[in-house]
Structures are given as structure tokens and as C-alpha cells.
Chains A and B, each alone.
Chain A
Amino acid sequence: MRFTGVTSTGRRWLLVDAATLETRPDRYRLGHGWKVVARKEFADHLLSARFYVLILILGVAAAGAVFAASGGIRAVAPSAVGVPALFLKLFTVTAEPVPFPLVVFIGFLAPLLGIMFGFDAISGERSQGTLPRLLAQPIHRDEVILGKFVAGLAVVGLMLVALTVFVSGIGIFRLGLIPTPAEIGRLVVWLIVAVIYVGFWQALATLASVTVPRAATSALIAIGIWLVLSLFGGFIFQAAANLLAPADDQTAALRTEMVLSRISPLTLFSESSTLLLDPTERTVDLVTFDQINRAIVSDLTLWQSLLVVWPQIVGMVALTAVLFAVAYVLFMRQEIRA
């Protein structure tokens, strides 16, 4: 291999350049670079091994959950007449031997999705030695991080939509139930909330990838935070509530615990899911038996459900935005050379 025809080609370039030098954009179109980055990342993700592993895990889990749920619904079919939003029960109920309904399962796996598509966002560029080359191109630094974030979220969105359609398809086939427009509306809103929730974890993983030079370390940090919150979160919030609330008032302690636990995006997402996928759920707060007994039984519309969990959704968006902003600021100030 050699540099062939150096001089002659050099002269050819000279001719080409005289004609094309002026076509170079004098001002680079803003908002172009992040799309280029996002497109490349999106294509990379779709071809990556991790994508297929996740599709496989989610597919198997979803199939198991939906068969269990539909089996459970069929078993009680005679008494299920008149149950509101029966179709959505595919997502929210389970039966032996599957331990979780699909919604819980997705709530559990969503952090993994976000972490998988974010943990090597910047550290990967560093370890491959592509970061200096990338940043020497005419794009702003923030476009790199934004493009990667959008691409990861797009892939996750694609997966979740495919999964929901897959589950709905099996449900229609097994139960013969056609979802009503209201149910479809609830599913769509829930999907959007699920993507926001994944976005939180992706922002967290991106932040880790900015601060830690090694991709493996960054993945471990993000997974560690996820495990602590999901395994010990309840315990931590309970202990904190007991410290804060008056010792003799159990209701106060419980209320404090609920409020505190809403710091955690896990709580925010599970509350949002419950409300959005079940029109008979009316509140995420503590209710007394008295209140339940006196309530007039009626279903909430999608808008009413959305109104109840709006703070939760805004909370998730805010947490995501804060993490992303921190990652962004740190990346902007960072040295190119590690």
C-alpha cells in the first residue's frame, strides 16, 4: 500500500478546489450537527449486540407476561363482563407462574435500557480515541451529547412501541378484545411516560460517562444507583420518615414516607403507570376506608388520570433535565485530553 500518484493528484485537487472552494458554507447551519450524530448513533445502536440482547429479553418477558395475563383474564371471563378497560389488564395483571405483570416488569427493566444506551456515550468516544477528531469538526460540543441522548431515546422508544404492539396483538388474538380509543389513548400516554422514565436513567448514565473515563466504571456507577434505589429505596425512605414524623402518629409517618419516596423516579413511574393504565384508580395518596366507602364509583377519563399524575410526570422530566444539564455543563468544561 502506498500513497499513489501524490503529485498528480495534488494538482487535480488544485483544479477541483478552485471551483468548489466557494461552495463551502460560510455559516454552518445550526442544529445540523446533532442530527448527524444522532443518525449515526441510532444506526450503531440498531446494529449493536446489546440491542438484540435487549429485544430478546424483552420479547421473552413480554410473551410470558401477556400469556399469563390473558390466561388469568380468560379464567375469570364470565365475571369480567363490565370491568372497565379490560384490555389494559393485559398489562397490569398477572397469573401463575409469572411473578410480575408487564408494567412492573418494564418499570424494572427501563433503567437497564437507559443505562445500556447511555453509559458509554462520552467515555466510549474517549476510549476509542475518536473524541478529539469529532470535536475538531464544525459542530458545537453540546450537539455531541444531545445527539447521543436523542438517538438512545429513539431506540428505546422504538423498542417500547414494538413491545406494546406485540403484546396488544397477542392480547387481541387470545382474548378477542379490541382496544377502545380511550384504551389506546392511555397506552400512548403511558408509553410517552415510560420513555421519559428511561430518559432519566439515560441522563444518569450519560452523566456517569462524562465524569468517569472508563465505560465499564460508568456502567457500574449507574447500575449501582439503580440497584440501591430499587432494592433499598423503600427501606431508606421508611427509616427517614420514621425519623422525621412524630413517633406516635402512624398515618403521619406513612404520609411522610410517601412524600419522601417521590424523590425516587421509581416511585414516580410506578404511580404514573398505575393511574394511567387503570381508570378505576383515582389517587396516588393515602385514602382511609371511610373515604373509599363514601366515594361514588365512577371511572376517571384519561385527562383526569393525567391530571392526578401530572406532578409525577413533571417531576420525572425535571429530574432528567437536571441530570442532563449537569452532564452537559461538565462536558463543556472538560479537557479534551483525559
Chain B
Amino acid sequence: MANPTVVASRLTKQYGEATVVNALDLRLHAGEVFGLLGPNGAGKTTTILMLLGLVEPTSGTVEVLGLDPARNPLEVKGRVGYLPDAVGFYDSLTGRENLRFTARLNQLSRDEAEERIAELLEEVGLPEAADRPTGTYSRGMLQRLGIADALVKRPRVLILDEPTTSIDPEGVAEMLALIRSLAEDRGVTVLLSSHLLHQVQAVCDRVAIFVEGTVVAQGAPHELASKNRGPEQVEVQTKADQERLRAALAGKPFVEAIQASRVPNVYLVRVTRGSTNQLISALVQAGLELSGVRRSSDDLDEVYRRYFHREEVAVG
């Protein structure tokens, strides 16, 4: 693989006694979307600020595009787009003026900046609101403008802190599509942090699950999921009653529990990992009329939930 664009090794940040980020190792490559997942207060924002050189690490090193953010802050910040958590703009300026200010700080020429800004405002869906003061914007609109702001400088690395909060679901899908296209078509390295797993796992090539400053798991979402050895939960929808279901599955070693759900005719069956197929064939052989079978919880969801609740989980 090509040279990594963002490297953190043994990155640590302590505030007094509290260790906010603990010996973090990251290697991100061009064209990759990397998700930093974790509950609020896990150290995601601190990590991001260290990558940008805005917070000094207690120990460990950061390299962004081959540069140390502490030694070459301008070169790094000129190539890294950043959308902060709860992004703010100058209320009295319009969206366009706010972006123009960013463009000037990035030393873009006037013509290039105007063209770029118009293009980006169109892209994030704010062309009508562009010439209104940002004081009149909704939270979601500010978030969209924040994305445009981060892209003004044509970044090679894009860091998004909680990009999907306060955007409506349709907007989230659009934003995630935009992120994917930036990574795939332009080779931008995208690092995004989130506490919302579902929105993020679809778009990320790799994720790191981050709890209390420590990465507890890192890898592609499906890899992480396959490391989960816990039971799977399957929703079985059938006209048959619970008696017949229990009878059909009696004596099967892979079945751990059967219970009715809140929805009529839908039952929850817990089976050992990887035995969903066996469950289906057992039900078919017993002659039950199935109208639907579905895994009720996503694999990664399970991993995530367990880490977040700091349960012991069997990860290889």
C-alpha cells in the first residue's frame, strides 16, 4: 500500500491525572474513510485536535502527510479540512462571506475562491441561503456550511467531528454519499468521529472503537463483527404459534432461547454464532410456514454495544 497519510503512534494526552487519550496508534491511507467510534467523552475530539496540532500531545508522535503538525503547523493546516463539533460561524456575515474569509486565510486567489465557494454551496444544498446571515441558519444548515467550509481549501485529509449530528436523516445519507465520493474519486483521506454507529459503519472502510481514551478494537466493520463470538438473535415470523415453534426446535443444540416479541407472530430466537442457516433449515423441515427470517441485531452493533457497556467480550 502507498504511504500512509495520517500516522499516530503511541499518542497520549493527559490532563493532570486523567488520561484522555491512551497510547493511540492509527495509520490512515489516501482514499480511506476511517471512523472513530465511541461514546461522548471517549477522547475523540482531543485526538482530532492533536492530529491538527491544536493540542500538544503529552507523549507519542503525529505525522500528517509526512509532516509534524507541531513543527509545520501552517503546511498541515493548509492541507487538512476540519469540521469541528458544533461548528460556529460569524452570525452577522452571510454563508458566502464566511466561506470567503476561510478562502482568504487559505490564500486562495479571488477568482478561484469565488468559483469554489459557489460550487460548494451548491454541493451542500445551500444555494438559496448563501447570501443570508448565518445567524438565521438552522443547526443542520450550519453543519452543511461547515462541510463546505472544510472543503474550501481542497483538503487532502478531511477530519469531521460528529458530522451527522443535527442533520435530518435524508441529509445524513447525502452527506455520507458525499464523503464516500470524496474518498473514492478524489483520494481524500477522511477521518470522522461519531457516537452513532449505524450512520457511520456503512461509509467507513475501517473503524476504531474508542472507549475512555483507549482503542478497544480496530479494523473493517465486518472483520470486527466476525470476531464476535457471542450468540446471534434471529427474528422469526410465522403463522404458527409458539408451541409448534418450540416443538420444531426441540433438541436442537444451537438454539439457546426462544421468546415471543412485542409484535404478534414474531419470535426471537437466540442461536449460537453462525448457525442461522441451520435454524432456517430446521424450521423448514418441521413444515412451519415462514413469512420472514431476519437477524434482529447487527453484528457490529452487538460489538459496539458490548464495548460501550464495558462488558467482557470475546474478541480474538
- A residues in contact (CB < 8 Å) with B: 1-7, 9-11, 13-14, 17, 20-21, 24-29, 32-33, 36-37, 39-40, 44, 47-48, 128-130, 132-140, 335-337
Q: B67 to nearest A CB, angstroms?
A: 11
The CA of A27 and the CA of B74, in the complex, are separated in Å by 8
Task: Choose from A32, A133, A134, A336 the contact partner of B55 (Cβ within 8 Å).
Answer: A336
Stretch at the interface among B78-86, B277-285, B291-299, B307-315: B78-86
B54 close to A336 (CB less than 8 A): yes
Please name 15 pairs of A and B residues whose Cβ atoms are closer than 8 Å in the assembled complex, sorted by A: A2-B174, A3-B125, A3-B174, A4-B125, A10-B181, A24-B79, A33-B105, A128-B90, A132-B49, A136-B80, A136-B84, A137-B78, A138-B107, A336-B55, A337-B45
A-B pairs, top 4 by smallest CB distance, nearest first, are A129-B88, A10-B181, A3-B174, A138-B78
Question: Do B124 and A3 touch across chains, with their CB atoms under 8 A apart?
Answer: yes
Chain A nearest CB from B32 CB (Å) reads: 16
Minimum Cβ distance to chain A for residue B80 (Å): 7
A138's contact among B74, B86, B90, B154, by CB below 8 Å, is which? B74
Residues B107 and A1 in contact, CB atoms below 8 Å apart:
no
A283 to B78, CA, bound (A): 55
B44 at the interface (CB under 8 A from A): no
Tell me the complex Cα distance, A25–B74, Å: 10
Known contacts A36-B105, A128-B89, A137-B105, A28 near B84 by CB under 8 Å: no
Contact of B177 among A3, A17, A37, A138 (CB under 8 A): A3
**B182 interface residue per 8 A CB criterion:** yes
What is the CA–CA distance of A135 and B80 in the complex, to the nearest angstrom?
12
Query: Contact at A133–B171, with CB atoms within 8 Å?
Result: no
A250–B26 Cα distance when bound, in Å, is 75
- Whether, in the assembled complex, B244 has its beta carbon less than 8 Å from a beta carbon of chain A, the answer is no
Across the interface, name the chain A residue whose C-beta is closest to B81: A136
Partner of A25, one of B45, B78, B146, B154: B78
Question: Nearest chain B CB to A120's CB is how many angstroms away?
Answer: 12
The one of B74, B105, B112 that contacts A20, using a Cβ cutoff of 8 Å: B112
Minimal beta-carbon separation of A125 from chain B (angstroms): 8
Give a binary string over B136-175; 1 marks a CB under 8 Å from any A CB, 0 the rest: 0000010010100100011000000000000000110011
B87, A140: Cβ atoms closer than 8 Å: no
Q: Are B101 and A40 in contact (CB under 8 A)?
A: yes
Complexed CA–CA distance, A33 and B102 (Å): 10
The residue in chain A whose Cβ has the minimal distance to the Cβ of B170 is A2
Q: Are B171 and A3 in contact (CB under 8 A)?
A: yes
Q: Which of A13, A40, A47 contacts B185 (CB 8 A)?
A: A13
B residues near A137, Cβ cutoff 8 Å: 77-78, 102, 105-106, 153
Contact B82 A6 (CB under 8 A): no
With A1-B125, A4-B125, A20-B154 as given contacts, are A10 and B186 in contact (CB-CB < 8 Å)?
yes
**Chain B: minimal CB distance from A176 (Å):** 45
B289 at the interface (CB under 8 A from A): no
Q: Contact check, B107 vs A25: say whether CB atoms are below 8 A apart.
A: yes
The distance in angstroms between the C-alpha atoms of A21 and B79, with both chains bound, is: 10
A144 to chain B, nearest CB (A): 10
Closest A residue, CB atoms, query B154:
A17
- B223: interface (CB < 8 Å): no
> Is B92 engaged at the interface, CB distance under 8 Å to the other chain?
yes
* Measured CA separation A5–B55 after assembly (Å): 37
Choose one: B78, B124, B125; the contact of A24 (CB below 8 Å): B78
> Per-residue 0/1 for B92-125: is the Cβ within 8 Å of any A Cβ (1 yes, 0 no)?
1100000001101111000010000001001111
* A7-B181 in contact (CB<8A): yes
Instruction: Report the minimum CB–CB distance from B284 to chain A (whole Å).
Output: 41
* A13-B186 CB under 8 A given contacts A130-B90, A136-B54: yes
